[in-house]
């Protein structure tokens, strides 16, 4: 070991690193996946705020007599706004490795995030605002679908990386059916 006050210990040339402890691979993968999920959550929050602005401005303009400058909100956008809840659960699960929150965020992300986006992409009423608004809407749907897809994918990988590491240390569980 090196000390501050003197040279390196006698007989040490720096090649004695083989015996040192290393971080296990599943912990390294967990840290990398959590970092990616945090980035995706931040991007989803920005997209969600843009959707809130679009929906709220559309609702305000629907109630006023002003000329229509903003498309009215589509019906699929209302359930999509609820997709902030699975994202919040996802953020809560990352701090303490709470798998229950992570599972709920994966299921909620599919139900409240991906399902409304699929309906919005296939919605025949999207052409009611004209070409530029429709192209921007479809661009937002494509970006949001990719964000949700990657978020669900990385969350599932995080779930499986943690459970495979735990299963390798414990005995296998057996399924008992209660009749």
Q: pLDDT tier at 172 (50, 70, 90 boundaries)?
A: very low
Q: pLDDT tier at 105 (50, 70, 90 boundaries)?
A: very high
* Out of 5-9, 18-22, 76-80, 120-124, least confident range: 5-9
Does residue 18 surpass a pLDDT of 50?
yes
Cα(127)–Cα(135) distance, rounded to whole angstroms?
9
> What's the token pair of residue 72?
């009215």
Residue whose C-alpha is closest to residue 40's, from 160, 148, 169: 148
Q: pLDDT tier at 46 (50, 70, 90 boundaries)?
A: very high
pLDDT tens, residue by residue, 117-153: 888 888 765 555 665 667 777 888 899 999 999 999 9
Q: For all residues of the chain together, what is the average pLDDT? A: 79
Per-residue confidence (pLDDT) for residue 179, from 0 to 100: 42
Burial 85-108 (b: 16+ CB within 10 A, else e): ebbebbbebbeeeeeebbebbbeb
DSSP per residue over 114-179, as a string? IHHHHHHHS-GGGGGG-HHHHHHHHHHHHHHHHHHHHHHHHHHHHHHHHHHHHHHHSPPP------
Cα(87)–Cα(39) distance, rounded to whole angstroms?
11
Return the domain boundaries, the chain.
32-169
Q: pLDDT tier at 43 (50, 70, 90 boundaries)?
A: very high
- pLDDT over 90 percentage in the chain: 35
* Number of alpha helices (DSSP H) and beta strands (DSSP E) in the chain: 6, 0
Q: Do the beta carbons of residue 83 and residue 114 sit within 8 Å?
A: no
Cα(29)–Cα(51) distance, rounded to whole angstroms?
32
């Amino acid at each position: 070991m090196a000390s501050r006050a003197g040279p390196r210990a006698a007989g040490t040339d720096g090649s004695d690193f083989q015996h040192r402890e290393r971080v296990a691979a599943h912990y390294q993968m967990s840290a990398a996946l959590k970092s990616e999920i945090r980035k995706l959550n931040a991007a989803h929050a920005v997209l969600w705020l843009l959707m809130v602005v679009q929906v709220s401005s559309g609702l305000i303009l629907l109630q006023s007599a002003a000329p229509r400058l903003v498309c009215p909100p589509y019906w699929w956008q209302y359930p999509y706004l609820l997709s902030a809840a699975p994202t919040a659960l996802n953020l809560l699960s990352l701090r303490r490795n709470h798998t229950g929150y992570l599972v709920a965020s994966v299921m909620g992300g599919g139900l409240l995030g991906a399902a409304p986006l699929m309906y919005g992409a296939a919605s025949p009423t999207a052409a009611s605002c004209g070409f530029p608004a429709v192209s921007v809407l479809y661009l937002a749907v494509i970006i949001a679908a990719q964000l949700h897809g990657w978020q669900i994918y990385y969350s599932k990988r995080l779930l499986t990386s943690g459970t495979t590491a735990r299963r390798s240390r414990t005995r296998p569980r057996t399924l008992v059916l209660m009749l």
